[in-house]
Structure 1
Amino acid sequence: MKPYLPLFLAALFVASPAPSHAQAASSQSLDGIVAIVDEDVILRSELDRAVANITAQYASQPGQLPPREILEKQVLERLVMVRLQVARAADSGIRISDAELQQAMNSVANQNRMTLDQLRARLASEGLSFDEFRENLRDEVTIQRLRQRYIQAKVQVSEAEIDQLIATQQIGGPEMRLANLQINLPEGATPDEIARGREKIEQIKGLIERGETTFNAAAIRYSQAQNALDGGELGWRSYDSIPPLFANVLRAMKPGQITDPVRGPSGFQIVQLEEVREASAQKVTQYRASDIMIRTSDLVSAEVARQKIQALRDRIAGGEDFAKVAKEASDDTLTRNAGGDMGWFQADQWGTAIGAQVQQLADGGLSPIFQSDVGFHLIKRTGMREQDVTEDNRRNKAREIIGNRKADEEFERFLRQMRAEAYFESRLGA
């Protein structure tokens, strides 16, 4: 599984769909309960399937997995967090339609360069249920929607904050691939608990540095972060997208090296620098064009709209000014008052139909009539340029960095609070 599922799905795939209360009640005599979460239960069969999925992902590297009892605790905690988030989303009125779910499934298949049928066959070949995959993906999309809704209400980024970040940090530049390993501390940890946490992460770091284990294997075995079962992988980050305390240390490190333990809001963590790469180029091709659009509707059939725009094209081909015709007749309210001028844009910024036409035209060229999902169009290309978007990208990157930091902090706080407020009873080993 792991090589062809995207990281977010690999992380979630351990979660099994929640049984209804009726299903749980009818099966409890045959299927033990391993945990109670609020008014719901997690069954032994769910945990076993989840552990089996993780084991399948690491079938070629079984030595990276911790002992069964530790793995069960890690997977159970993830099942609990998924269950709590999905329940909170349901209480908030979040629903994922079948159409949205189908789109997400197609996206997963496309990312892995497969058709949906090929993905189904691949899952079946590894003994994994497509129906379970589908419901787990619904949970993942639900959780993403919950996170989006929560941070939209909590996170705002001002232009002043962007200016300040740009003034104090170099935005852009090299990127690095990171992994982390975290040992959690309870809220209001005592000095003894803090000392034990520090000692534990120091011991783990020592194991890695002596070559007794790899960082990723140690993360799977010991880390208490949400990404533990992914080997602690954090993906590619720019230096300016992580907390300055880590960034300053990482700048002086070489791939393979590990930071000293750092205490954060959730506990102690160490970070490994895995790879470094230069940032991609920041130039894009932009086009300028003018547009006339005749909208189709219940009152204007496709044939009537086509005839109307053909008449407009004939007028322009006969010498009338494009801008004058656009102001008189175009249904595109965004461009009509400007004589159809769409400004500078990247090829597909106005949709794939317009993008395909504008790329084929020469400057000054008039397109044939073509159809989009809103009506029929006629465009005239007026320019093309290679544009340096470094400054725009810097500001967008700064906005993203600040937003992501705030979002991560807010949502992590939200998850900790939700977990602390939930009723949880583990029956593992009972």
Structure 2
Amino acid sequence: MKRIFLAFSLMAVALSSSFSAAPAQAQQVLDRVAVIVDENVILESQIDQLVAQVKRRSEQAGQPLPSEKVLRSQAIERLVLQELQLQMAKRMGIEISDAQLDQTINRIAADQGMTVAELRQDVTSDGTSWAAYRENVRTEILTGQVQRAAVQRRVSVTSQEVDSLVDLIDEQGANTVEYHLRQILIPAQSGSSQKAIDAAEDKANNIISELNNGGDFAAIAISRSAGNNALDGGDLGWMSTNEMPTLFADAVDGKSEGAIIGPIRSGIGFHILQVEKIRGQQQVKVQEVKARHILIKPSVILSDEKAKERLQKYRQQIISGEKTFAELAKEHSADPGSASRGGDLGWSRPARYAPEFAEKVKTLDVGTVSEPFKTQFGWHIVQVEDRRMLDATQESKRDKAYQILFSRKYREELNTWLQEIRDQAYVEEVEK
């Protein structure tokens, strides 16, 4: 009865302005409640607007449309689910400010290669008002946040599932990836004495150490390899894992360019391989930086300006040689995790830091002490000690596999969750 009373009350409000402003047209209904959804309603005008929008899009795309009755029914279902999620957003305290809305619209325009003015012209060219478009975008943001809050916690992806999908992706792509290999063979026949085998293995390990310290693989192969391709610098040419010996394939699979592999024991000796080049595989390289910093946190007794001045002083002491970076970090840094190590943050990818910090470590010259700058944690000076590039191909594969699995499960759970909230809701169409 409460919901019926709500419906009639809202219909009365919708009609009241027409009754007072134009008594002679009191029977003309400007809008009406079409559907009651829990404690709120859907108006007839909302259904008409959505139906008209779908019709315009279908006409532009040259797509056939269902009957008016089916189209209206589908529009009602969409609006019911939307209304249920908007009610949830209100209960959860989720709001989208105009500034957030503007940022999203700017991204939409940029993604379509337009300015906001051009997007606005494109939107309004088919009769849609810009204000209505903005509110539709706001609604999409709200419902998206509600869905993520409700559905993400229902999705679980295990490491075993990720590993299995990575293996499947690798298997499907195995024939397309080729490796250019070089080989150094240290002979040790299977019938040799244990002493001879141990000596050959020691020789192979010494060569690997030499290679890891910058030794030239081709030159060492020419001078020390017993392989029949030794005079070619140990060049084995291009081959896929399906074409190379299984012993090599298992060791080479997943390795990056430049990798030194071995020693690999076979019936004829110890093999040392170098992956010179890879083709047919998308390699992902990421940069890591080794940095250290000093953090000063402003407080009720230490203003922003004073914190900045203090770091300026420390910077000058480091540059002049009066103090070392490590000494000052141990004495003054407010970061407990790094202060005891002289401010050392170790090796890390810039993206893992706060945006302002990440930008500094990406652009700062190695060895330079930065000017003081501020992040959400306080004021910093930072010094980049070194940079390196790492092969993140395997990690990228795992990330891709995780995203595939998560997206698949998320869609399944989202559909289930939407059906659940629809089944649990009070929905009543109001007869005309």
Shorter chain as normaliser: what TM range? 0.5 to 0.7
Q: CA deviation at 1:83?
A: 1.4
- Largest Rg, 1 or 2: 2
Shift of 1:414: 1.6
Aligned pairs for 1:117-196 (under 5 A) are 119-120=119-120, 122-167=122-167, 170=170
Confirm or deny: 8 A CA contact 2:89 2:95 kept in the other structure. Answer: no
**Matches of 2:49 and 2:343, distance apart in 1:** 58
- Asked if 1:358 corresponds to 2:361, the answer is yes
TM-score scaled by structure 2? 0.60
Structure 2 letter corresponding to 1:301: S
- CA-CA distance at 1:70 after TM superposition: 3.7
Q: In structure 2, give the amino acid aligned to 1:337.
A: S
Tell me if structure 2 keeps the 8 A contact 1:55–1:62: no
Q: Going by fraction, where is helix more abundant, 1 or 2? A: 2
Q: Percent identity?
A: 32
- Post-superposition Cα deviations, 1:305-326, rounded to whole Å, max 9, x if no partner, equal 1210011112211233322322
What letter is aligned with 1:75? A
On the 8 A contact 1:94/1:145 being kept in 2, the answer is no
Residues 298, 145 of structure 1: alpha-carbon distance in 2 compared, 3 angstrom cutoff: same
What is the distance in 1 between the residues matched to 2:172 and 2:382?
Answer: 36
> Whole-Å Cα distance in 2 between the matches of residues 293 and 171 of structure 1?
48
- Identify the residue that residue 408 of structure 1 maps to in structure 2: 411
Q: CA deviation at 1:353?
A: 2.6
1:88 alignment partner AA: M
Secondary structure of the residue that 1:367 maps to in structure 2?
coil
Return the alpha-carbon distance in structure 2 between the equivalents of residues 385 and 393 of structure 1: 18
Asked whether the equivalents of residues 37 and 423 of structure 1 are also in contact (C-alpha less than 8 Å), the reply is yes
1:44 is matched with 44
Which residue number corresponds to residue 251 of structure 1?
none
Partner-residue secondary structure (3-state), 2:402:
helix
Secondary structure of the residue that 1:338 maps to in structure 2?
coil
In 2: Cα distance, 1:397 partner to 1:57 partner: 33
**Mapped partners of 2:399, 2:52: distance in 1:** 42
Cα 1:352/1:146, change in 2 over 3 Å: closer
Look up the match of 2:268: none
2: CA distance, partners of 1:68 / 1:151: 33
AA of the residue aligned to 2:302: V
Partner of 1:328: 331
Could you say what the CA RMSD is over the residues aligned between the two structures, in angstroms? 3.6
Separation in structure 1 between the aligned mates of residue 118 and residue 297 of structure 2, nearest angstrom: 39
Question: In the superposition, relative to structure 1, how do residues 306 and 94 fare at CA in structure 2: closer, same or farther (>3 Å)?
Answer: closer
d(CA) in 2 for partners of 1:126, 1:84: 29
Partner of 2:380: 377
Aligned to 2:81: 81
What is the distance in 2 between the residues matched to 1:316 and 1:145?
47
Q: 1:18-61: per-residue Cα shift (whole Å, max 9, x none)?
A: x9986544226432444343454322211111123334445533
Partner of 2:273: none
Tell me which of 417, 421, 425 is aligned to 2:420: 417
Give CA deviations for 1:319-353 in whole Å, capped at 9, x if unaligned.
33322322221223443233222333344432333
TM-score under structure 1 length normalisation: 0.60
- The correspondence of residues 7-406 of structure 1 with structure 2, limited to 5 A, is 23-27=10-14, 29-58=29-58, 60-91=60-91, 93-98=92-97, 100-113=100-113, 119-120=119-120, 122-167=122-167, 170=170, 281-319=283-321, 320-406=323-409
CA drift of 1:388 comes to 1.2
Equivalence for 2:252: none
Shift of 1:301: 1.8
Residues 343 and 70 of structure 1: CA distance in aligned 2, closer, same or farther (over 3 Å): farther
Higher deviation after alignment, 309-318 or 384-393: 384-393
Q: 1:292 to 1:49 in 2, by over 3 A?
A: same
Secondary structure in structure 2 of the residue aligned to 1:344: strand
**CA–CA separation in structure 2 for the residues paired with 1:333 and 1:128:** 56
Count of aligned pairs: 307
